Structure 1
Amino acid sequence: MSSSSALSARGSRLALLVVGLCWLAVLFDGLDMFIYGSVLPHMLEEKALGITSAQAGDLGSYATFGMLVGALTAGTVADRIGRKKLMVSCVTLFSLASGLCAVSGGVAVFGLGRTLAGIGLGGLLPTAISMVSDYAPRARAALTIGLLMTAHHAGGILSAYVALWIVEPLGWRAAFWVCVAPLLFVPVLARFLPESLSFLVARGRLEEARALASRYDAELPAGATGKPVAGARWANLLDLFRGGEWVQTLLYWLASFGGLLLVYGVATWLPTLMRGEGYELGSALTFVVLFNLGGIVGMLVAGRASDRFGAPRISAIWFALTAGGVFLLSVHMPLALTFVVVFLTGVFLNSAQTMIYATVSIGSAPAHRATAVGWTSGMGRFGAVFGPWLGGQLLAADRGDWGFTAFALAGTASMVFIGVAALRTARSAERDGLPRRPAVTG
Structure 2
Amino acid sequence: MSTSPPSPASGAASGRTHSFRSVAVVLALSWLAVFFDGMDVNIYGAVMPHMLDDPGLGLTPGSAGTIGSWTTFGMLIGALVAGNVTDWLGRRATLITSIVLFSVGSAVCALAGGVALFGAGRFLAGLGLGGLMPICLAVVLEFAPPRRAALSTGLLMTSYHAGGMAATGLGLAIAPEYGWRPVFWAGVLPGLIAVPLLLRWFPESPGVLLAKGRRAEAEAIADRYGMERPRPAEAPPGGAKGRWAAVLALFRPGSRWATPLLWVASFCGLLLVYGVSTWLPQMMRASGWGLTSSVSFLMVVNAGGIVGMLIAGRTADRFGAVRVSAIWFLLTACGALLMGAHLPLWITYVVVFVTGIWLFSAQTMVYAATHTVYGPAERAAGLGWVTGVGRTGAVVGPWLGGILLANGAEGWGFTMFALAGVAGAVVIALVPLAGRLGRTATATDAATDADKAATGVAPTS
Distance 2:235 2:375 in 1: 16
1:213 aligns with 2:222: yes
1:10 aligns with 2:17: yes
- The runs of 4+ residues in structure 1 deviating greater than 4 Å are 3-9, 214-218, 222-230, 426-433
- Aligned position for 2:176: 168
1:112 aligns with 2:135: no
1:410 aligns with 2:420: yes
1:121 aligns with 2:129: yes
Distance 1:22 1:37 in 2: 24
Q: Which runs of 5+ in 2 are unaligned?
A: 1-8, 444-461
The amino acid across from 2:243 in the alignment is: R
Distance 1:139 1:432 in 2: 27
Distance 1:228 1:263 in 2: 31
- Aligned position for 1:61: 69
- CA distance 1:361–1:89, change in 2 (3 Å): farther
- Aligned position for 1:240: 250
1:187 aligns with 2:174: no
**SS in structure 2 opposite 1:180?**
helix
1:263 aligns with 2:273: yes
Distance 2:292 2:424 in 1: 32
- Aligned position for 2:86: 78
Moved more, 375-384 or 272-281: 272-281
2:432 aligned to which of 417, 422, 436: 422
- Aligned position for 1:96: 104
- CA distance 1:218–1:376, change in 2 (3 Å): closer
The amino acid across from 1:57 in the alignment is: G
1:399 aligns with 2:406: no
Superposed displacement of residue 214, structure 1: 4.2
1:28 aligned to which of 36, 39, 52: 36
CA-based RMSD of the aligned residues comes to 2.3
- CA distance 1:110–1:380, change in 2 (3 Å): same
CA deviation map 1:124-174 (0-9, x unaligned): 001000001111112111010010000000000000001011112221110
- Aligned position for 2:143: 135
Distance 1:227 1:345 in 2: 37
**SS in structure 2 opposite 1:278?**
coil
Distance 2:224 2:350 in 1: 48
- Aligned position for 1:317: 327
**SS in structure 2 opposite 1:50?**
coil
Distance 1:183 1:334 in 2: 42
Larger Rg: 2
- CA distance 1:194–1:227, change in 2 (3 Å): closer
- CA distance 1:145–1:227, change in 2 (3 Å): closer
Distance 2:413 2:235 in 1: 53
1:130–1:361 Cα contact (<8 Å) kept: no
Higher helix share: 1
- Aligned position for 2:355: 345
Superposed displacement of residue 203, structure 1: 2.6
Distance 1:180 1:227 in 2: 33
Q: Which runs of 5+ in 1 are unaligned?
A: 434-442
- CA distance 1:303–1:227, change in 2 (3 Å): closer
Superposed displacement of residue 406, structure 1: 1.2
- Aligned position for 2:446: none
- CA distance 1:393–1:196, change in 2 (3 Å): same
Superposed displacement of residue 14, structure 1: 4.4
**SS in structure 2 opposite 1:46?**
coil
Residue correspondences, number: 431
Moved more, 268-277 or 75-84: 75-84
Superposed displacement of residue 220, structure 1: 1.2
**SS in structure 2 opposite 1:246?**
coil
Distance 1:291 1:48 in 2: 31
- Aligned position for 1:438: none
